[in-house]
Amino acid sequence: MAQEEITTNEDGTKRALSNRHVQLIAIGGTIGTGLFLGAGSTISKTGPSILIVYMILGAIFFLMMRAIGEMFYSDPTQHTFVSFITRYLGNGVGKFTGWTYWVGLVFVCMAEITAVATYVHYWLSNVPSWIIEVTFLVILTAVNLIAARLFGEAEFWFAMIKIVAIISMIAVGVYMAVTGFKTPFGQSSFTNISNGYSLFPKGVRGFISAFPMVFFAFQGIEFVSITIGEAKNPRSVIKKAVNETLFRILLFYIGALVVIMAIIPWHQLTANQSPFVQVFKLAGLPAAAAVINFVVLTSAASALNSCIFSAGRHFYQLATESEEGSFMRRHFAVISSTGVPAKAILISALLVFITPLMTMTHSLAAMFTIVTSISSDMYIIVYTLSMLAHRKYRQSTDFLPNGFKMPAYRFTSAITILAFAAIFISLFFIPGSQLPAIGAVLWTLAFGGYCVFEERGKTTVGI
């Protein structure tokens, strides 16, 4: 791409991401280890009805992205969707959401760098985890510091590897099912999906518990919106990214799950083995485990890359929204000569360097698991606040009647908010999920209350 094709925003960031970058970032950012490694667990707990769960939550996330997309279409200069929460729900709620989302992103980065070390150990079992973690973190931080375009290129190829792996498995699986390929489980056929079908094979609780599992599989789909501030032709890109990407993700997820259950009867799938490995092995690929390990390694590296990108932009946003003359504003609300918020990226990456300590003590690792779960639960609250911000946007003077409007928003917005509330409530009835859910509530009441009351105090003083 010629240099003159790259436009520069008023704050110094550069619109260097093309449509292909944004599309692949959106797809690749959501398709991760939850599919490659976790599909066996979700199917074993829910059976074929897992397809219903994916379709329902796919529709809910599509509606959420339409709401976020509509706000970005009205003002594509913003770097994060949190800026709209600040604008329409107030500085206090915006501060709470911004810090909560950023902390959550840092923990996601920590989880992904831990996963990277685990997958690399498949080949290099004698190399200490901390060396692997530091190496990958330095490389991907450097990728993010150099230019947004380099980040986009890295994500493009990371996503391509995952997509090729999924398409290959779907193609192989369809061939096996159509030809009636014989396996130790019997004859491959699409009828295996409906054979012995039950909506609740492990009880109603098993079916309900699938919703949070699938929710977390889709978590991160909003990453695409964070690229809009640095994309060329942002308004046309956001339309394509929102309208096309989710359908592609559903196609990959549902297509993969259908093929898996056609080859391996759903009641014989186990939670402790990747169904992708099983399908490729049954098809006669002895190196299936190594191939899938490489794919999930790139998947984790891709997620880490996206997290660093997103965390940097969110910290930069927090800095720009802080008080004039404050330490945050002076030191982190700056853009480097390469057009990226370098200092905000560095402070986010530096915190992730705590991760190697987690591998040294079991107690720290256990605490890390709990905190990561709490931060994941917080995303439900953040998503809900983005929907409430959209409702305020519709009532504001910023509303574009001819913009990229969320369809039937009064109805669809309410459904989306109620769905998020129902998923959060369900966490209190799922074993192992209660403690993180309680932690998320306490964080919201304590830190959220502090942010709102602090802002009210400033307003009172100003009056």
Q: Which of 436, 296, 330, 339 is CA-nearest to residue 380?
A: 436
CATH number of residue 205's parent domain: 1.20.1740.10
Give the residue, 19 or 154, on which the prediction is more confident.
Answer: 154
Q: What is the mean pLDDT of residues 228-256?
A: 77
Helix spans in 283-341 (H): 288-320, 327-332
Q: For residues 140 and 309, what is the distance between their CA atoms, to the nearest angstrom?
A: 9
Q: Is residue 412 very low, low, confident or very high in pLDDT (cuts 50, 70, 90)? A: very high
pLDDT(2) > 50? no
Over residues 126-148, the pLDDT tens digits come to: 888 888 888 999 998 888 888 76
> Residue 46 has what pLDDT?
84
> Residue 367 has what pLDDT?
59
Spell out the residues 6+ positions from residue 8 whose beta carbon is closer than 8 angstroms to its own: 14, 15, 339
> Residue 394 has what pLDDT?
95
Spell out the residues 6+ positions from residue 62 whose beta carbon is closer than 8 angstroms to its own: 242, 246
pTM: 0.85
How many residues are recorded in the chain? 463
> Residue 17 has what pLDDT?
62
Q: For residues 413 and 240, what is the distance between their CA atoms, to the nearest angstrom?
A: 21
Q: For residues 144 and 382, what is the distance between their CA atoms, to the nearest angstrom?
A: 25
> Residue 279 has what pLDDT?
83
pLDDT(359) > 80? no
pLDDT(39) > 80? no
H or E element that contains 68: helix 50-74
Percent of all residues in the chain with a pLDDT value above 70, rounded to a whole number = 86
pLDDT(455) > 60? yes
Q: For residues 334 and 343, what is the distance between their CA atoms, to the nearest angstrom?
A: 7
> Residue 205 has what pLDDT?
81
Over residues 371-402, the pLDDT tens digits come to: 667 877 888 999 999 999 999 999 999 999 99
Q: What is the mean pLDDT of residues 412-424?
A: 94
Over residues 83-112, the pLDDT tens digits come to: 899 999 998 999 999 899 888 888 888 878
Rounded to 5 degrees, what are φ and ψ at 7?
-95, 155
**Residues 178-207: b if buried by 16+ CB within 10 A, e if exposed:** eeebebeeeebbeebbeeeeeeebeeeebb
Give the residue, 432 or 191, on which the prediction is more confident.
Answer: 191
> Residue 355 has what pLDDT?
75
Give the residue, 406 or 76, on which the prediction is more confident.
Answer: 406
Rounded to 5 degrees, what are φ and ψ at 182?
-85, 130
Q: Is residue 60 very low, low, confident or very high in pLDDT (cuts 50, 70, 90)? A: very high
Q: For residues 25 and 163, what is the distance between their CA atoms, to the nearest angstrom?
A: 12
Over residues 281-300, the pLDDT tens digits come to: 888 887 877 888 888 888 88
Q: What is the mean pLDDT of residues 198-208?
A: 79
pLDDT(8) > 70? no
In the chain, how many domains are there?
A: 1
Percent of all residues in the chain with a pLDDT value above 90, rounded to a whole number = 16
* CB 369, CB 51: distance < 8 Å: no
**Residues 235-263: b if buried by 16+ CB within 10 A, e if exposed:** eebbeebbeebbeebbebbebbbbbbbbb
For residue 450, give its domain range. Answer: 3-462
> Residue 143 has what pLDDT?
84
